[in-house]
Amino acid sequence: MPHNIRTILERLNSSEYRVTWQRWAIIKEIVLNKDRQLSAEDVYNLIKQDYPEIGLATIYRTLDLLTDLGMLQRVSFGDGKTRYGLADGGSQYQNHLICVRCGAVEAFDEAFLRSLEEAVGEANQFQVIDHEVKFFGVCKACQKEAPARQRS
Amino acid sequence: MPHNIRTILERLNSSEYRVTWQRWAIIKEIVLNKDRQLSAEDVYNLIKQDYPEIGLATIYRTLDLLTDLGMLQRVSFGDGKTRYGLADGGSQYQNHLICVRCGAVEAFDEAFLRSLEEAVGEANQFQVIDHEVKFFGVCKACQKEAPARQRS
DNA sequence: GTTGTTGCAAACTGTTTGCATAGTA
DNA sequence: TACTATGCAAACAGTTTGCAACAAC
């Protein structure tokens, strides 16, 4: 279920919503940076390079819209900013390795989580719909720079 | 490694920091509500009942201090507020089941996660220090109220 | 007495909203 | 044309900070 620019615009088009160049530009940046999870301001700055007239409020409104339509999903890393990534059917973008040294964020495959989700749901009589898993630690690059210590 | 009021105050006392009634009160509320994860404002409102003179800024400063000292840890549920819970050695309070209907939050045992942490760390050459796992879904109580549907 | 801590108010940051204007279908 | 979407500025919510008064050790 690949989410490219075309599929998203088609879906927008077939709804009651309109396709504007602003929405096009926002979707473009999200797709081009699908490995990164952009914040509203990230998107704003990227687009302003080419179209200085765009407004921050438009970014927020469009990001909300695309999230409501199920094309994006919100992620937060606890830094006070909401970030957005392609929803992409499954939720592989909800699984993160976050480096506590350099702040790098990478995704990991969620195959690991299938059985966990089931086991936890059963044990707690909780009907699981979605998950969000973050592992904090030291990434490969930072491990090389200095011997790793436990959190100070 | 139980964190009760006494141990925390002792640790504060043996540091360069001072023990004030404000800090005492804040720690008391956190410990009394250790099953709940309070936000700064939650703590503020609780304490104001008994001591209306306390200031919100003090709450924030103390919560930051206790977090830096490793006694508390920050948690966020994506609602824009930072919440705090006892760090308590391990991190069982970082595992949450969040009901998307009523907003209830409960913790689940982390025994499930030990092997997952190892496997993911190894597969990605990432040295895991801590984790934060959230399952979103429908809690037992809400399942009774109405037949469960997928997220609308 | 010295130095850390507090309350208050002002400042900040990320996000939302009202409104007149502009653009899409 | 009809109605949605935009940009701007003001409004908001949560959090941080400067500072003079105050309290712990």
Using one digit for the tens of pLDDT, what is the confidence trace for B77-86? Answer: 778 899 998 8
Is residue B150 over pLDDT 50?
Answer: no
pLDDT band (50, 70, 90) for residue A152 = very low
- The residues near B125 (Cβ < 8 Å, ≥ 6 apart) are A140, A143
- pLDDT at residue B21 in the model: 93
What is the average per-residue pLDDT within A6-14? Answer: 72
The model's pTM is 0.72
Q: Does the beta carbon of A103 lie under 8 angstroms from any beta carbon of chain B?
A: no
- Render B61-124 in DSSP notation, one character per residue: HHHHHHHHTTSEEEEE-SSS-EEEEE--SS-GGGEEEEETTT--EEE--STTHHHHHHHHHHHH
Distance B30 CA to C2 C1' (A): 32
- pLDDT at residue B149 in the model: 41
Torsion, CA A95, CA B129, CA B90, CA B22, rounded to 10: -100
Q: Does the beta carbon of B120 lie under 8 angstroms from any beta carbon of chain A?
A: yes
Is residue A27 over pLDDT 50?
Answer: yes
Strand D contacted by A58 CB (< 7 A): yes
- pLDDT at residue A126 in the model: 87
Q: Does the beta carbon of B10 lie under 8 angstroms from any beta carbon of chain A?
A: no
**Which range has the worst mean pLDDT, A29-33, A47-51, A73-77?**
A73-77
Tokens at A61, concatenated: 């409104």
pLDDT band (50, 70, 90) for residue B1 = very low
pLDDT in tens, A71-110: 888 888 778 899 998 876 555 457 888 876 766 777 787 7
Strand D contacted by A18 CB (< 7 A): yes
Is residue B4 over pLDDT 80?
Answer: no
Tokens 């929405």, located at residue: A23
> Do the chains contact at B100 and A132, CB–CB below 8 Å?
no
Q: What is the mean pLDDT of chain B?
A: 81
- pLDDT at residue A71 in the model: 86
pLDDT band (50, 70, 90) for residue B8 = confident
Chain A partners within 8 Å of B133 (Cβ)? 131-134
Distance B66 CA to D21 C1' (A): 25
Is residue B60 over pLDDT 90?
Answer: yes
Is residue B42 over pLDDT 50?
Answer: yes
Interior/surface letters B127-151, b for 16+ CB within 10 angstroms, e for the rest: bbbbbbbbbbbbbeebbeeeeeeee
> Do the chains contact at B135 and A123, CB–CB below 8 Å?
no
Strand D contacted by B58 CB (< 7 A): no
pLDDT band (50, 70, 90) for residue B151 = very low
- pLDDT at residue B130 in the model: 76
Chain B nearest C-alpha distance from A116 (Å): 7
Is residue B146 over pLDDT 70?
Answer: no
Is residue B53 over pLDDT 90?
Answer: yes
Q: Does the beta carbon of A6 lie under 8 angstroms from any beta carbon of chain B?
A: no
pLDDT band (50, 70, 90) for residue B36 = confident
Q: Does the beta carbon of A69 lie under 8 angstroms from any beta carbon of chain B?
A: no
pLDDT in tens, B70-119: 889 888 877 889 999 888 655 545 788 877 676 677 778 777 777 778 88
Strand C contacted by A40 CB (< 7 A): yes
Which residue would you say has higher pLDDT here, B20 or B147? B20
Which residue would you say has higher pLDDT here, A30 or B15? A30
- Domains in chain A, ordered, with CATH? 1-89 (1.10.10.10), 91-152 (3.30.1490.190)
Cβ proximity of A105 and A37 under 8 Å = yes
